[in-house]
Chains A and B, each alone.
Chain A
Amino acid sequence: MADELIEIEEEEYTSQLTGPTFARIAALVKPHWRWMAGFLTAIVVTAALDAFFTYINKLIIDNGIVPGNFNLVLKYAVYYGGIQLVQSGLVFTFIYLVGILGERIQYDLRKSTFNHLQDLSLSYYSQNAVGRLMARVTSDSGRVSNLMTWGLLDVTWAIVNVLTSTIFMLIINWKLGLIVFSIIPILVIIAVNFRKKILTEFRKSRRNNSKITGEYNQNFQGVRVVKALGREEENLREFSILTDNMFRASYRAAWLSALFLPTVQIISAFALGAIVWYGGLQSQYGAFTVGSINAFVSYLTFMIWPIQDLARVYAEMQHSIASAERIFKLIDTPPEVQDRPEALSADTIRGEIEFEHVDFYYEDRKPILTDFSLKVKPGETIALVGPTGGGKTTIVNLLCRFYEPKNGIIRINGHDYTDYTMQSLQSRVGIVLQTPHLFSGMILENIRYGRLDASDSDVEQAAKVAGAHEFIASFEKGYAQDVGEGGNLLSVGQKQLISLARAVLAKPEIFIMDEATSSVDTLTEALIQRGMEALMQGRTSFIIAHRLSTIRRADRIVVIEAGGIAEMGTHAELLRQRGHYYRLYTQQFKFEKERAYGVSMPGVVPVIK
């Protein structure tokens, strides 16, 4: 829903075409210029031929029927058929070329935006909602491609069609031709304004529509409350206001559309009347033939369509250009965290890790970590505890080099870690997130994400170590079981076990885990604990810990509060201090015990976050 709102909001933006933007849009087509040249040629000829059909009919009337020469009629019929045949070939050509080119440009744009998104740093993601990023890859790409293909095609057709018709009219009678030609701009201006109004109303109704969907959604989800509070009638009254607005907007959009063609038609009917009257008079002096007048009528009647197309493309063009600019802006954004030019590939990161006077903030003047220093020996397990917002996650983010310190240095093996390539660092880190993220597909694929060349038996081995094998084996399809979109067919505990297995398979040199706060059943809990232990074995580990067992097992506990270390030491040392840790610990102790003894019921969030 939020995504849809973003899309609607962005659609409203318009932008004028500037030189540089045009050059960049043109550059998108450059690799496929043959396709474009092909469809443009085909459409130009098609549009020009359209005018011939009317002219042939004039010839049939004036040279065939009126003098009674049927042979000439047949000759013209052959021309007509021939042109029809050629035109059909051309229609095939341009639909094929423009359609496939459109798909191709979309494909290219999706590819380049997606690939660039992969290279961008986490900071970019935290500043831009997923819905917006998706719009770049999907709707914006579609709109730009449409402008360059079907939009360009329609405009070209319209212009050539109007021009050739005008040329034929000028040939038949240049005075009348000029009159007709002079009303074209008026029609175009009216048409463009109409289109813009229709577009505005249409967007209004789209916005209303998304409000209606939102209201449906929350009413269904909150139906229990609605019933309990007896809100049905009031709800309906409020909903009716939304549907009333929707009615007004879509009704208006619909009747404006219905008004458009008749208006243009009626205006051209006056020109038609003038032609009939003037032409009829002139015909008495032989200056005008029946066929000529008929041709004028026909040219005028069918001129509506190109004008309509012109107006449509023009009205939408500014939105497409805004889309293009958004795409270019994305592609132009450099990744914040990048490899240094002379970065080395780290052979190992098993050594000592040191945070040296590290400062960090996501936004200016809102420091998250201040002068943070921490030295970790190889193989040590560090438990990070403390309140939400204290900076625990930031420490992990910095360690993974999702972000880099604003001040200070992080050293691995005594080297500033920015001396290493990101690939060599990150491929040696294993991470399990608090809310496990799985991808649609099989369990097998999700575990293999940790090491792509792992064999099936490697995957199974990792699952066994992580304690995930048992429940996977209980599925009918076993490792081939589909996990659903975002893994939603599995329980939270199962997702955690799979992400543990994924980390096990990666054989990381540093293990990072953000322990989940949501509760899982006791058995799964025990399995997760065992999996974690296996992973911590012999590796430097950083655990954002919530569970007592995890905390107690750590070699060192670091209490993070307000961007710095509030307390640090072993479990026993810290308990004796009777400070922050003591308070957190006793609270969590009671909570876990109550749960364990069944005094308090599951579904409740623990206190330490």
Chain B
Amino acid sequence: MAVIAPPKTYFDFRKAVTKNKLVGLWRMMPDYRLSYAAANLSLGISALAKMTTYLLLRNFADTILGTTQPFAGTLTRTLILIAAGFVVLALFEGGFAFLSGRLAAYSAEGITRRFRNFLYDHIQRLSFAYHSKTPTGDLIERVTSDMDAVRGFFNEQAIGVGRIIALFVINFLAILDLSWKLALASIAVVPVILVVSLWFFKKVTKAYEAYQEQEAILSTTLQENLTGVRVVKAFARQDYEKEKFEKDNLEKFLRGRKFIRMHSLFWPLSDLACGFQMLVGFVFAAYLAIHGEISVGTYPAYVGLVVWLIWPMRNLGRLVVQTSTGLVSYERLMEIVRQEREPLSDGKIQPEGPVDGQIIFENVSFQYEDGNNEVLKDISFSCQPGQAIALLGSTGSGKTSLVNLLPRFHDYTDGHILLDGVELKDYSREYLRRQIGIVEQEPFLFSRSIGENIMYGVDRHVPQEEIEKAARAAAVHDVICSFPDGYNTLVGEKGVTLSGGQKQRVAVARTLLKNPRILILDDSTSSVDTETEAEIRTALDGLMKNRTTFIIAHRIQSVMNADLILVMDKGAIIQMGRHADLVAQKGMYRQIYNIQTRIDEELETEIASVN
């Protein structure tokens, strides 16, 4: 569409938030209003050309019957002009119909593209709290099916309703011009058809939903049967499964039948209503023509026009019902749009270079917005740049919540955290997260190539050598090279499945490349064999060098070398110090440590007992 400057592919839909749904939809359209208006205008021109065709037909009929003088002098010339007129009008009608369709699609697809882009971006910027309480499936449902419904509104319903109304108005006016009596006689049944079609489509939509619901149930039964084939066979339950499927299958057939029955009544009955309305018009028009109130040529023109007055009305009901589902979907999407984003760049200070990594916790407490008890209580400790801090404690003791405060995934509710002597909340989240690297226990990898996963965290071009260097340091290079496609091997559903240890090492490489000043490590090396464990340990040691590191530890071995060990229980620090100090103290740490030695002794005894 050269006439209009290309609209931007991103638009802040938060500007479209409003109470009234239709106003909201209107506000979603900036940059596209012109093309949308042009689409509707083209629609009108196309309908006008169609109408004019029938008026030309009237002139033609009256000319050859001799009731009207040939307008171009001779009959031959007039006929040539009329014939040419039909072709030109068809060009107009078709050309503008196409233009209208094209403009409508352009606007609808354009708006949808922007909406998709916006939602994608918006959702990734929503807070942790939002993500942890919203199931992925629900979000997906909204951004796909609800998005489709909204797209349908712009692409089909809005333009479809416009088309039917344009056809009705223009053709009605034309008939009105032919004879007002005829015009009135032609639309008597229109309101009835409209109401009935609204009622029918509401009903049939429900029946169709029920049908689709059953389809989903059938699909679940089928899927559970196929994935559970070993259970089915192990219990020799083939016949039982067949019966179960038969029940659901039959139900789908029955619901389908119900839905078909409704259609089989609506269409012939509405045919009948439309047909008789037309017949009344025909007889009346013939009567008027015979009595000279209208010309003979008016009759065929009327016959042509009235078709476009009556039949499209049946579809108006469908469009209106679809519009209302479109509005429901719109509302479901706006619920997401209304959510507050995490202010990534808000922060009082914007340091030029990286942080040193000195961290001080002063009486820090934290509780979730909707929670009523403190997850972290009065946490105080400090560490120097480059030190390693190990957190030890059972699940739920608050280790993860504590480290989640550092990149400001959540903000502490009380006390102070000082990073390089500055309050943590004064740094922008964006800046902090650039300074902090995280290696999770079960790291999430994206379904793209291994190489791309490794460079996922940096926004500059990374040469292949650098990627391989990081992979070598993370002790995963050899594993990657063993795949047929090397670094181009896809991860996930369509590619290879990596083991937990391999994933973790890819994540280590990813973090090495990012080169953060502060590191958060979830140490779970126990899930791999001894050899790999040693490799990972080397990789992690390399990673920790010169970085302030927080280790969420699961085993005593991985905390022994830490500069500071925090033993946590129920959100509080119960012991703190270095390994040597803690072993010397009475307390949980020593207990855990002692168990380790006890296990070795027990094993000895057990093996000795069989000899």
- The residue from A92, A254, A284, A590 contacting B268, defined by CB atoms under 8 A apart: A92
Give CA–CA (A60, B302) in the complex, Å. 13
Task: Decide yes or no: A246 and B113 within 8 Å by CB, A88-B271, A276-B86 being known contacts.
Answer: yes
Closest A residue by C-beta to B62: A290
Since A265-B94, A593-B603 are in contact, a sample of 5 more A-B pairs with Cβ atoms closer than 8 Å, ordered by chain A residue number, is: A227-B124, A255-B106, A258-B102, A427-B235, A486-B227
> Could you list 15 A-B pairs, sorted by A, with CB under 8 Å?
A1-B493, A66-B296, A84-B271, A95-B268, A106-B256, A229-B510, A240-B9, A251-B105, A269-B87, A284-B64, A297-B57, A486-B224, A575-B607, A593-B603, A600-B554
Nearest first, the 3 closest Cβ-Cβ pairs linking A and B are: A258-B101, A262-B94, A269-B90
CB distance from B197 to the nearest CB of A (A): 16
B606 surroundings in chain A (CB, below 8 A): 589
Q: Are the C-beta atoms of B250 and A117 separated by less than 8 Å? A: no
Give CA–CA (A209, B599) in the complex, Å. 55
Q: How large is the interface on A (under 10, 10 to 19, 20 to 34, 35 or more residues)?
A: 35 or more
B515 surroundings in chain A (CB, below 8 A): none
- The residue from B101, B237, B409, B459 contacting A233, defined by CB atoms under 8 A apart: B459
CB distance from A376 to the nearest CB of B (A): 19
Give CA–CA (A74, B279) in the complex, Å. 10
Task: Decide yes or no: A103 and B272 within 8 Å by CB, A2-B493, A73-B290, A599-B556 being known contacts.
Answer: no
Q: Are the C-beta atoms of A247 and B595 separated by less than 8 Å? A: no
A8 surroundings in chain B (CB, below 8 A): none
- The residue from B125, B226, B276, B556 contacting A133, defined by CB atoms under 8 A apart: B226
B299 surroundings in chain A (CB, below 8 A): 60-61, 65
Decide if B110 is an interface residue (CB 8 Å cutoff).
yes
Give CA–CA (A294, B302) in the complex, Å. 11
Give CA–CA (A222, B289) in the complex, Å. 74
CB distance from B223 to the nearest CB of A (A): 6
CB distance from B8 to the nearest CB of A (A): 11
Decide if B133 is an interface residue (CB 8 Å cutoff).
no
Decide if B65 is an interface residue (CB 8 Å cutoff).
yes
Q: Are the C-beta atoms of B260 and A103 separated by less than 8 Å? A: yes
Decide if B282 is an interface residue (CB 8 Å cutoff).
yes
Decide if A314 is an interface residue (CB 8 Å cutoff).
no
A-facing mask of B433-446, CB < 8 A → 1, else 0? 11011101101101
Q: Are the C-beta atoms of B144 and A262 separated by less than 8 Å? A: no
Closest B residue by C-beta to A115: B242
CB distance from B554 to the nearest CB of A (A): 5
Decide if A104 is an interface residue (CB 8 Å cutoff).
yes
Q: Are the C-beta atoms of B524 and A604 separated by less than 8 Å? A: yes
Q: Are the C-beta atoms of B304 and A298 separated by less than 8 Å? A: yes
A-facing mask of B225-269, CB < 8 A → 1, else 0? 111111111111110111001100110110011001101110111
- The residue from A2, A229, A607 contacting B457, defined by CB atoms under 8 A apart: A229
Q: Are the C-beta atoms of A104 and B223 separated by less than 8 Å? A: no
Task: Decide yes or no: A433 and B237 within 8 Å by CB, A73-B286, A254-B101, A269-B91 being known contacts.
Answer: no
B116 surroundings in chain A (CB, below 8 A): 212, 239, 243, 246
B260-304 with Cβ < 8 A to chain A: 260-261, 263-265, 267-269, 271-272, 275-276, 279, 282-283, 286-287, 289-290, 296-297, 299-300, 303-304
B-facing mask of A209-224, CB < 8 A → 1, else 0? 1001111111111111
- The residue from A61, A65, A92 contacting B265, defined by CB atoms under 8 A apart: A92
- The residue from A243, A571, A586, A604 contacting B117, defined by CB atoms under 8 A apart: A243
- The residue from B9, B240, B529, B554 contacting A607, defined by CB atoms under 8 A apart: B529
Q: Are the C-beta atoms of A95 and B592 separated by less than 8 Å? A: no
A581-609 with Cβ < 8 A to chain B: 582, 586-587, 589-591, 593-594, 597-605, 607
Decide if B580 is an interface residue (CB 8 Å cutoff).
no
Task: Decide yes or no: A575 and B290 within 8 Å by CB, A100-B260, A224-B444, A233-B459 being known contacts.
Answer: no
Q: Are the C-beta atoms of B290 and A68 separated by less than 8 Å? A: yes
Chain A interface, DSSP helix/strand/loop, else mixed: helix
B547-596 with Cβ < 8 A to chain A: 554-556, 592, 595-596
Q: Are the C-beta atoms of A266 and B459 separated by less than 8 Å? A: no
Decide if B83 is an interface residue (CB 8 Å cutoff).
yes
- The residue from A104, A125, A270 contacting B229, defined by CB atoms under 8 A apart: A125
Decide if B324 is an interface residue (CB 8 Å cutoff).
no
CB distance from A83 to the nearest CB of B (A): 9
Give CA–CA (A95, B289) in the complex, Å. 38
B-facing mask of A61-105, CB < 8 A → 1, else 0? 100111011100110010011001101111110011001101110
Give CA–CA (A65, B297) in the complex, Å. 10
Q: How large is the interface on B (under 10, 10 to 19, 20 to 34, 35 or more residues)?
A: 35 or more
CB distance from B489 to the nearest CB of A (A): 17
A255 surroundings in chain B (CB, below 8 A): 98, 101-102, 105-106
- The residue from B65, B75, B113, B121 contacting A290, defined by CB atoms under 8 A apart: B65
- The residue from B9, B61, B257, B555 contacting A600, defined by CB atoms under 8 A apart: B555
Decide if A470 is an interface residue (CB 8 Å cutoff).
no
Give CA–CA (A89, B234) in the complex, Å. 54
CB distance from A235 to the nearest CB of B (A): 6
Q: Are the C-beta atoms of B303 and A294 separated by less than 8 Å? A: yes
Q: Are the C-beta atoms of A266 and B144 separated by less than 8 Å? A: no
B241 surroundings in chain A (CB, below 8 A): 118
Decide if B140 is an interface residue (CB 8 Å cutoff).
yes
Q: Are the C-beta atoms of A213 and B140 separated by less than 8 Å? A: yes
Q: Are the C-beta atoms of B228 and A219 separated by less than 8 Å? A: no
Closest B residue by C-beta to A234: B459
Q: Are the C-beta atoms of B121 and A60 separated by less than 8 Å? A: no
Q: Are the C-beta atoms of A84 and B286 separated by less than 8 Å? A: no
Q: Are the C-beta atoms of B276 and A103 separated by less than 8 Å? A: no
Decide if A277 is an interface residue (CB 8 Å cutoff).
yes
Decide if A402 is an interface residue (CB 8 Å cutoff).
yes
Chain B interface, DSSP helix/strand/loop, else mixed: helix
Task: Decide yes or no: A272 and B493 within 8 Å by CB, A88-B271, A601-B394, A601-B554 being known contacts.
Answer: no
A103 surroundings in chain B (CB, below 8 A): 252-253, 256-257, 260
Decide if A550 is an interface residue (CB 8 Å cutoff).
no
B80 surroundings in chain A (CB, below 8 A): 277
Q: Are the C-beta atoms of B86 and A269 separated by less than 8 Å? A: yes
CB distance from B458 to the nearest CB of A (A): 8
Q: Are the C-beta atoms of A218 and B446 separated by less than 8 Å? A: yes
Decide if B500 is an interface residue (CB 8 Å cutoff).
yes
Decide if A464 is an interface residue (CB 8 Å cutoff).
no
Give CA–CA (A270, B63) in the complex, Å. 20
Decide if A263 is an interface residue (CB 8 Å cutoff).
yes
Give CA–CA (A405, B303) in the complex, Å. 78
A-facing mask of B42-61, CB < 8 A → 1, else 0? 00000000000000010011
Decide if B158 is an interface residue (CB 8 Å cutoff).
no
Decide if A14 is an interface residue (CB 8 Å cutoff).
no
Q: Are the C-beta atoms of A70 and B457 separated by less than 8 Å? A: no
Give CA–CA (A546, B124) in the complex, Å. 41
Task: Decide yes or no: A281 and B79 within 8 Å by CB, A261-B97, A437-B230 being known contacts.
Answer: yes
Q: Are the C-beta atoms of A597 and B249 separated by less than 8 Å? A: no
Give CA–CA (A119, B592) in the complex, Å. 55
Closest B residue by C-beta to A578: B607
Closest B residue by C-beta to A126: B229
Give CA–CA (A255, B456) in the complex, Å. 38
- The residue from B63, B218, B287 contacting A280, defined by CB atoms under 8 A apart: B63
Give CA–CA (A218, B235) in the complex, Å. 37
A113-152 with Cβ < 8 A to chain B: 114-115, 117-119, 122, 125, 130, 133-134, 137-138
CB distance from A257 to the nearest CB of B (A): 7
- The residue from A81, A261, A273 contacting B276, defined by CB atoms under 8 A apart: A81
- The residue from A74, A99, A221 contacting B264, defined by CB atoms under 8 A apart: A99
Decide if A400 is an interface residue (CB 8 Å cutoff).
yes
CB distance from A501 to the nearest CB of B (A): 13
B505 surroundings in chain A (CB, below 8 A): none
Decide if B395 is an interface residue (CB 8 Å cutoff).
yes
Q: Are the C-beta atoms of A605 and B57 separated by less than 8 Å? A: no
- The residue from A57, A88, A251, A604 contacting B106, defined by CB atoms under 8 A apart: A251
Give CA–CA (A111, B94) in the complex, Å. 47
CB distance from A498 to the nearest CB of B (A): 12
Give CA–CA (A469, B248) in the complex, Å. 30
Q: Are the C-beta atoms of B113 and A243 separated by less than 8 Å? A: yes
Q: Are the C-beta atoms of A244 and B264 separated by less than 8 Å? A: no
